[in-house]
Amino acid sequence: MNPASSAPEQHDGLNAPFSTGAARPAFAVPQGACDCHMHLFDNAWPYVGPGVLTHPDATPQDYRALQRRLGLSRNVVVQPSSYGLDHRVLVAGLKALGGSARGVAVIDPTTTPAQLRELEEAGVVGVRFNLVQAGATHERMLEAVAALIRPLGWHVQIHAQARTLVDLADRLARLPVPVVIDHYAHLDTDPELRPAIEALLIRLLSTGRIWLKLSAPYIASPHSADFEELGACVQRLAARFVDRLVWGTDWPHVTEGARKPDDGALLELLSQWFSAEERHRILVENPRALYGFGM
């Protein structure tokens, strides 16, 4: 079964907006499991400009339905590039979700200390560079933004095509803050480049300051029916760096239009690829360390 194209299903009233299917995961999701990558949308607030990704309202209440279905208790709200530097949706969402949520913002070198304090008080613990979709950031800002957030103990999260990651690798390794690489580092978007990206990830993860986010396999491996090559790569990485891996849904799957994936099936990939102990590290212990959740 392709998790990104399974048919809608009704089961025990567990269906959630913008997610196909309704079945619970077949494995026991551990207490404190965290979805480290999801977004909120509120069309009462303007997008940053033409050409950005848009989406119907995706509210904290909508997301709670998905959490109940999957058995998740923590989450990280990632600012969509669509809103640029306007964090009103992010801050309101973090307030609604409470202490079980953390945030990842989008800033540039002009962001003031007062604005950073406001974001920190709301629960923000990192900043994102989206170098794939249109937005407010570009790679020339990396070092300046890292210098701004270093006193706060935040991390840089980066979404980039595989070839861009190759070009940026040395700079990412030198940043004075932790770095989180989105969406499996686009491991399987270009089969010819896959060995180079895997070797690059081994080098970066071995620094102990860089993390890989297992989110949106349909982005990282768009031509695969079962994500077999992607799974083989991350299993090899987990054998050495399981403490550097976190997982996320990418809900509400804005890149997928009306054809939403089955989040239960995407979570089930973890049971195919990892042991129960490894899943606990990826879903509970690693997010706790990276995002500052309590016990």
Domain coordinates in residue numbering, the chain? 34-291
Cα 4 to Cα 276: distance, rounded to the nearest angstrom: 24
The DSSP result for 64-87, as a single string, is: HHHHHHHT--EEEEEPPGGGTT--
Cis amide linkage into residue 252, ω under 30° from 0: yes
Backbone angles phi, psi at 229, to 5 degrees: -65, -40
What are 248's two structure tokens?
């996320």
pLDDT band at 49 (very low <50, low <70, confident <90, very high): confident
pLDDT band at 13 (very low <50, low <70, confident <90, very high): low
Percentage above 70 pLDDT, the chain? 96
- Across 58-78, average pLDDT: 98
Cα 34 to Cα 31: distance, rounded to the nearest angstrom: 9
pLDDT of residue 14: 74
E strand or H helix that includes residue 240: helix 228-241
Which residue of the set 35, 62, 250, 263 is catalytic?
A: 250
Question: Is residue 72 scored above 60 in pLDDT?
Answer: yes
Q: Is 250 a catalytic residue?
A: yes
- Across 267-290, average pLDDT: 98
DSSP 3-state of 216: coil
The fold of 34-291 is: TIM Barrel (3.20.20)
pLDDT band at 3 (very low <50, low <70, confident <90, very high): very low
Percentages of the chain per state (helix, strand, coil), in multiples of 5: 45, 15, 40
Q: How far lies 133's CA from each of 3, 136, 138, 187, 200, in Å? A: 24, 10, 11, 18, 23
pLDDT of residue 180: 98
Cα 20 to Cα 48: distance, rounded to the nearest angstrom: 29
Backbone angles phi, psi at 18, to 5 degrees: 65, 30
DSSP 3-state of 26: coil
